[in-house]
Amino acid sequence: MRRFPNDFLWGGATAANQLEGAYNEGGKGLSTADMVKFVPREISCGKNTETVTYEEAIEIMNGKHDNEYYPKRWGIDFYHHYKEDIALMAEMGFRCFRMSINWTRIFPNGEEQEPNEEGLRFYDNVFDECLKYGIEPLVTLSHYETPLQLALKYNGWENRKMIEFFVHYAVTVFKRYRNKVKYWIPFNEINMSLHLPYTGGAIFIEKSQNELETIFQALHHQFIASALVTKKAREINPNFQIGSMLGMSLYYPKTNNPEDILAAQWANRVNYFFLDLLSKGEYPEYAFSYMKKKNIELKMMEEDLSLLRENTVDFNSFSYYYSLCTSAHPENEEGLIAFVPENEVIDEFHPRKVRNENLEVTDWGFQIDPIGLRVAINEVWDRYHKAIIVSENGLGTYDTLTIDKKIHDDYRIKYLKEHIQQMKICIDEGVKVIGYTSWGCIDIVSAGTSERSKRYGYIYVDSDDYGHGSMKRYKKDSFYWYQKVIKTNGEDLG
């Protein structure tokens, strides 16, 4: 039986906008994430709260909503706690820390020619702290942290000028950290622009005349930006490793009815649409067929397709939390999952999700499916045959801090253990999985709902949904479990 490689990248993952805080320190500008307020679950009904309109953004900037709470502005104050937090990661034995650079710390408004030196120094210090412990940084350039001014002025990635701004930012940090960072990911969950245009693409969709056309145009610009920064990265340091990052949406058919199987095949093609572009450098034909059917006129420059073809990624990475299920006739199904607004387009690229009765669900309705991770890894490996990093995986749920300051999270250990076991089987079968960075290795603000009570970490941060608490860090039971997993290189999962 194969074992995990000796240089396997065990670690954890975070995002600057959910972690750092200090939104108005060090010369940082406002990002799109800084405009998202907290909405209690009993009001939001569990829906994603990342929807901010153009008018609301202007109002927030003018102080009209100062009585509301914007958790991502405060995070868990990693900006001031990074030495303590990285030391805890080192104590667990981390070999890799996936994090993002907040674009607005480097270019506060996105259009500046000269970078903000104080922001650059901050990440110098973070990387130095990681390297002091032998922790390899895995750095995402854009993790839902687009400069707000670019969203307001250009409607984000709808505008091709965003490529120029993004490449300038990327080249700046590539040169600055060329000897400190080896692994880079241009865009986190690049497929999120399809489903959450504001979150993934900094798009105010109400300013668009053709919603689908705007989204696919923005995606095209992100694909070109990814190819260009991949090209620039290799010119700056040929040893750089550039990767894709997908929010894995693995679909099963509801039944063995051929129509359901076809519906699931189409749903899974949405994953391949993104990975084909990043890993193969080409648009799949079904994507052009879809765009033609939807009257989407994609504006391309003459050199775009060759840029994509000549600058593909070195590795593929993806987040995996759950599998999904779909049906050819969802209107006949009971137990539809995931909040779907009435005006959301439901078609091949926007499949309806139905309940899979074979799986348990988390407190947030995510279906728990460890075997699905194995299916996803195998599918991505078989199709692209490039190294894989499972760059996010974890259980978001409620934790209880006991009187003696302990957190007994056996439920999280069980979830992670079962997923790592499936990943290990893939390695045993010859798949080149080179890293595993579980999500939210320290409790951070939720991406989707801006909650703090939805906890993923091995490290508990004493702060509630409204930011009340001491911000003290406490080790959960899972901290010591993961420490043992890394120390034994995945051999002891007990």
**Residue 338's pLDDT is what?**
45
- The reply to whether 211 belongs to the active site is no
DSSP secondary structure code for residue 351 in this structure: P
Distance CA 144, CA 375 (A): 27
- Would you say 189 and 200 are in contact if contact means Cβ atoms under 8 Å apart? yes
Q: What confidence tens digit (pLDDT) does each residue in 286-296 have?
A: 999 999 999 99
Cα separation, 273 vs 282, in Å, equals 9
79-101 average pLDDT score: 98
* The one-letter amino acid at 440: G
Kindly report the CATH class assigned to 9-488: alpha beta
Confidence (pLDDT) at 449: 85
Q: How far apart (Å, rounded) are the C-alpha atoms in residues 370 and 390? A: 13
Q: Which residue has the tokens 């939104």?
A: 23
Please give the structure tokens belonging to residue 415. 């979830």
pLDDT digits (tens, 9 = 90+) for 249-295: 899 999 999 999 999 999 999 999 999 999 999 999 999 999 999 99
Which spans in 10-135 are helix H?
16-19, 41-44, 54-61, 78-92, 103-106, 117-132
Catalytic residue among 50, 145, 392, 451: 392
Instruction: Tell me the pLDDT tens digit for each residue of 340-394.
Output: 444 445 678 888 888 899 999 998 889 999 999 999 999 999 999 999 999 999 9
Question: Rounded to an integer, what distance in angstroms lies between the CA atom of residue 440 and that of residue 455?
Answer: 8
pTM: 0.95
Instruction: Convert the pLDDT of each residue in 57-82 to its tens digit.
Output: 999 988 888 888 999 999 999 999 99
Looking at 129, 158, 189, 451, which residue is catalytic? 189
Assess whether pLDDT exceeds 80 at residue 306: yes
Q: Which 3 state secondary structure label does DSSP give 493?
A: coil
Instruction: Please confirm, yes or no, whether 392 is among the known catalytic residues.
Output: yes
